[in-house]
Structure 1
Amino acid sequence: MKTASTPAGQRTRAVIYVRISQDRTGAGLGVARQREDCEVLAVRMGCDVVEVYDDNDVSAYSGKKRPGYQRMLADLADGVATIVIVWHTDRLHRSPKELEEYIALCESRGVTTHTVQAGHLDLSTPGGRMMARTFGNLARYESEHKGERVARARQQKAADGLWAGGIRPFGWGVPTGKTRKKTVTTVDPDTGKESKDEVEVPVLDMNQLVPAEAAAIETGIDMLLTGGSVRGWVKWLADKGFTTTRGNPIVPAEARDMLMRPRNAGIAVYRGEEIGKGKWEPIVDEVRLRGVVAVLKDPARRTSPGSTPKWFGSLIYRCGIKGCTGTMICTRAGGARRPSYRCPTQHGGGRRADKLDEYVADLIVNRLSQPDAVDLLKAGPDDVDVTALQLEAETIDQRLRNTANLFGSGQISMPEFTEASNAARAQLEGVQRQLARAAVKDPLVGLVGAKDVRAAWEARELDQRRTVLRSLLDVTILPARRGRLPDGGYFDYDAIKIEWKR
């Protein structure tokens, strides 16, 4: 933006740069006040202001790109002006590297810098450069000191079991009835120009559960503990209309993180480390949290995209051809109209997939519907003392914190700290594995004793049904008789060998 002035050539050309690192209201009042003061200085100096560069709500310390600043440097390199006017040097730089680049440009183009608060900086002289670097180092110190204060405040909040800020976590955040102002930035798709609007948003209580979201987390954890998959839970979430707290679809990586959060069990975390109990309402107990973490971190768990079978018995049914030890896969080999199970070695004919899966599923549902089905349930790990393990975990956590405090105060050396903390973490991992044992459920739980076993069976995702199949049956597919069978059909049920494992 240009200001009216005397004819070009009679006065010195200057540019103004204004910046504020955090504009909480979005009104731009901070940069507006800076600009007013800079314009007064320009008039007093007798300068023509040919351009004003504005970076609102952008920190110089954060390392983020500043479009206005970059545009100013390009214009100065092109000779647009020979004077830069700013409110203070810390509006220009908070990084020594950035300052040196600015000094080099000013030296090569004969540009001088004038500030409202710190006076004239002649970067062509050693004294001027020394002052600029001194101001820059002070600004850097202030930024780092502020960063430490912010980090310490967040650490203290975490230690006190309080919400430390950030994106609302899925599962918590109930409106309190109060509102606060928030700045929303929108970009015009045609011009690329940004605009900021101030809106009222509700203030949330991050210690209170959002019932529907909390129930969704609990459903996901139960799915995983009974043989389900993250992808199955993601599909369930999408079918129910759940999104992230930002309104985006939930993808498997996000879903996995959501299920493994210590926060779910009311455990506070700071920089990735568990540091104690939070003051928010937990969704699940610690035992179930440790269980789902153990399941998801199991190295044997298959997680590669596209590897999940689409059919009930795929890679579970065994081939019954003599001498073959392979499992069956479901394909449409040879232009078949319907998918069929075949051995990957291609010997023997196929077996119609829908009829075979229906037959095996009916066997399972009918068996689990019998009065004595409760006898099939496996007993839980009676040798796991959950209360004692949780107490032991808390004791080890406290030992880790005490060790860190001793190292921080200089009472122990780095090797001593490393040795002690590694030993404590190894013990903690062992405790958590034992807690996980107590959480993983028999896949028959929820089916045995259900009012309608078939409805409960059909409500389970494919991975959970496959886990039940693995747990209950060995299914071997023998060579089928050819042609029409005595019952008038063509599907040879007698060629399906069933062995119950329980």
Structure 2
Amino acid sequence: MLDSATYNTMTNNRPLRVLILARVSHDSSGVGRSVNEQVDAGKEWVKREGWELKKVIRETGSASRYSTRRQRAEWNEALAWIESGEIDALLTWENSRATRDLSGYTELRQACAKNKVKWGYGGTLYDLTQRSDRFRTGLDALLAEDEADRTSERVKRAHSANARAGRPHGKAIFGYRRIYDSQTKALLRVELDPAEAALIREAAQRYLDGETLYSIAQDWNDRGIPARRPQRKHHRGGWAWRGETLKQMLEMPAYAGLRQYRGEIIGEAMWDAIIQPEAWHKLQALLHAPERKRADVWKIRYLLTGVARCGYDGCVGNVRVSRNSSKTAAGLTHYQNYICEYGPHCSMNMKFLDAIVTEHILERMSRPDFLESLHHVEDDQSDQRRDLMRTIAEHRAWLDSVRERAAQERNLELLFDQERRVKPLIDEATKKLNRLSTVSPHVTTLAQAPDVREAWEGLAITSKREIVRSLLEVQMFPAPRRGAKGIGQAIERTKITWKHTL
């Protein structure tokens, strides 16, 4: 440790050139008073010692291990000044104002020692080329990191406890409003916003009825419905609502009155559901169904590409389109085949396979009992969905009771043991719930048409593909011999399996 007189002697009486780094983790007021107080204290130190102030850097943000160099632009600027040779000392309010991470301390110590820059805080100037000063600053850095870790653990415990109590976290959710105590500012309750909740229900029902998220978003924009939050991305063309925004919202367990923590639904929330849990789970099955995956709609031109599968032994590939030509008496004839995406395992004329699959669907959907069979499937799925949801709720209730008992008996081993046993059961039931398929709304709409065949012809290719995917599994197999042609051999080489008992 050095006093100013000793240091001035070492630098041939040249005034010490100083950089002040002031940092505060959060500045919610926007005033930055704590940072300004640190700067004022640093300037007072510089004035008292007769040093030369070269630069002041103000930083708002975390300096713990949970931050990154990219996030700490001001920290990087301070290191650049140390490396530049234009300063003789770095001043901070205290050790932790520079960094709360040992790796950050090591980086600073090495930079200061290499460039003969002192580090001052708490009224003391440290020479990091000296063993004793490295020990003292290192000890302070270790204590600063430990305090940051303790704070992080406290915050995580609080978040976990709030989540298990069903309390909200983060920004208010569209459709709800939070009511706070006017004096203490404590959260009293979360209640529905009638107008916004009605919009959520509308979006959910319209999607369940077969509308696309894009069309719903476009309608909301046309109606002038305000965005859930102020827009910050100008490239969106002024659109308040987009399809991906609605998808993100409808995926939220909060709308089913469920509390999520770290990606896992852990129980009921303290607020009422806007969408009933059973309807919400049905919504998830639709949102994440393979036929609903986002695609470049303007590029989709074929009925069965990526839908039908290769039936060659051991192959798991889907089919794609291959363009071909052949010489006939009339000249060169062009045609298209479906072939395996992984190799020349099998090939079939595209018109043949499209016709076989289409007729399979339309013949069954034209029967008078199809709608009744469809309703039986949906009722059966609803029963399965309710049973799985009840199972998950029972497992969670059991874990909650174990937590209370473990807290009373101070027996964490009891809790850990039951979590190891019960959580896999919850995960398995949740997977089954997510895998429970839902018949596409387009199927119901088509089945209710007066003339199913005529209605099919009027559908977009994307709707036709969704119907096929929702109802059938299609496989095509290699030809038994070379030169096998005609729709008859195509029928023999095609296997169609109904996904539901219809």
Same fold (TM over 0.5): yes
The equivalent position to 1:119 in structure 2, one of 123, 132, 143, is: 123
Aligned to 2:256: 265
The equivalent position to 2:324 in structure 1, one of 333, 339, 344, is: 333
Distance in 1, matches of 2:385 and 2:348, equals 52
Map of 1:184-263 to 2, 5 A cutoff? Answer: 208=193, 209=196, 211-212=198-199, 215-216=202-203, 261-263=252-254
Letter in 1 for 2:119: T
Letter in 1 for 2:423: R
The equivalent position to 1:81 in structure 2, one of 79, 83, 87, is: 87
Q: What SS does the corresponding residue of 2:166 show, helix, strand or coil?
A: coil
Letter in 2 for 1:157: N
Shift of 1:150: 2.7
Aligned to 1:458: 459
Aligned to 1:142: 147
Map of 1:316-465 to 2, 5 A cutoff? Answer: 330-334=321-325, 340-341=336-337, 350=349, 352=351, 368=365, 373-377=370-374, 379-380=376-377, 382=380, 384=383, 389-403=388-402, 411=411, 413=413, 420-429=418-427, 431-432=429-430, 440-441=438-439, 444-449=443-448, 458=459, 461-465=463-467
- Give the 3 Å change call, closer, same or farther, for CA 215–73 of structure 1 in structure 2: same
TM-score using structure 1 length: 0.63
Report the aligned-residue RMSD.
5.6
- Residues 54 and 68 of structure 1 are in contact (CA less than 8 Å); yes or no, is this contact kept in structure 2? yes
- Give the 3 Å change call, closer, same or farther, for CA 104–54 of structure 1 in structure 2: same
Q: What SS does the corresponding residue of 2:18 show, helix, strand or coil?
A: strand
Letter in 1 for 2:56: V
- Give the 3 Å change call, closer, same or farther, for CA 428–99 of structure 1 in structure 2: closer
Aligned to 1:282: 273
Shift of 1:164: 0.3
- Give the 3 Å change call, closer, same or farther, for CA 312–107 of structure 1 in structure 2: closer
- Give the 3 Å change call, closer, same or farther, for CA 40–440 of structure 1 in structure 2: same
Distance in 1, matches of 2:309 and 2:162, equals 56
Shift of 1:282: 3.5
- Give the 3 Å change call, closer, same or farther, for CA 210–337 of structure 1 in structure 2: farther
Aligned to 1:40: 44
Aligned to 1:155: 160
Q: What SS does the corresponding residue of 2:46 show, helix, strand or coil?
A: helix
- Give the 3 Å change call, closer, same or farther, for CA 112–131 of structure 1 in structure 2: same
Letter in 2 for 1:269: Q
- Residues 217 and 246 of structure 2 are in contact (CA less than 8 Å); yes or no, is this contact kept in structure 1? no
- Give the 3 Å change call, closer, same or farther, for CA 331–403 of structure 1 in structure 2: same
Q: What SS does the corresponding residue of 1:72 show, helix, strand or coil?
A: helix
- Residues 220 and 259 of structure 1 are in contact (CA less than 8 Å); yes or no, is this contact kept in structure 2? no
- Give the 3 Å change call, closer, same or farther, for CA 95–112 of structure 1 in structure 2: same
- Residues 339 and 352 of structure 1 are in contact (CA less than 8 Å); yes or no, is this contact kept in structure 2? no
- Residues 406 and 412 of structure 1 are in contact (CA less than 8 Å); yes or no, is this contact kept in structure 2? no
String of CA shifts for 1:402-438, please: whole Å, max 9, x gaps.
455667876254xx76653343234334544675687
- Residues 42 and 85 of structure 1 are in contact (CA less than 8 Å); yes or no, is this contact kept in structure 2? no
Q: Percent identity?
A: 19
Shift of 1:45: 0.8
Letter in 1 for 2:466: Q
Gaps in structure 2 of 5+ consecutive residues? 1-11, 181-189, 222-226, 311-316, 327-331
String of CA shifts for 1:246-298, please: whole Å, max 9, x gaps.
75889999998766543342210222332211234535433355456678889
Distance in 1, matches of 2:346 and 2:159, equals 64
- Residues 101 and 141 of structure 2 are in contact (CA less than 8 Å); yes or no, is this contact kept in structure 1? yes
- Residues 217 and 283 of structure 1 are in contact (CA less than 8 Å); yes or no, is this contact kept in structure 2? no
Letter in 2 for 1:265: A
Aligned to 1:93: 99
String of CA shifts for 1:296-354, please: whole Å, max 9, x gaps.
889x9998989x975224577899xxxxxx9986443229898645577799994658x
Letter in 1 for 2:99: H
Q: What SS does the corresponding residue of 1:63 show, helix, strand or coil?
A: coil
Distance in 2, matches of 1:445 and 1:158, equals 39
Aligned length: 430
TM-score using structure 2 length: 0.63
- Give the 3 Å change call, closer, same or farther, for CA 175–347 of structure 1 in structure 2: closer
Gaps in structure 1 of 5+ consecutive residues? 1-7, 179-204, 224-231, 320-325, 482-493
String of CA shifts for 1:452-478, please: whole Å, max 9, x gaps.
866697377343221366389x9xx99
Q: What SS does the corresponding residue of 2:42 show, helix, strand or coil?
A: helix
- Give the 3 Å change call, closer, same or farther, for CA 331–469 of structure 1 in structure 2: farther
Letter in 1 for 2:419: S
Q: What SS does the corresponding residue of 1:156 show, helix, strand or coil?
A: helix
Q: Kindly indicate which of the two structures has a greater share of residues assigned to helix.
A: 2
Letter in 2 for 1:54: R
The equivalent position to 1:53 in structure 2, one of 47, 51, 57, is: 57
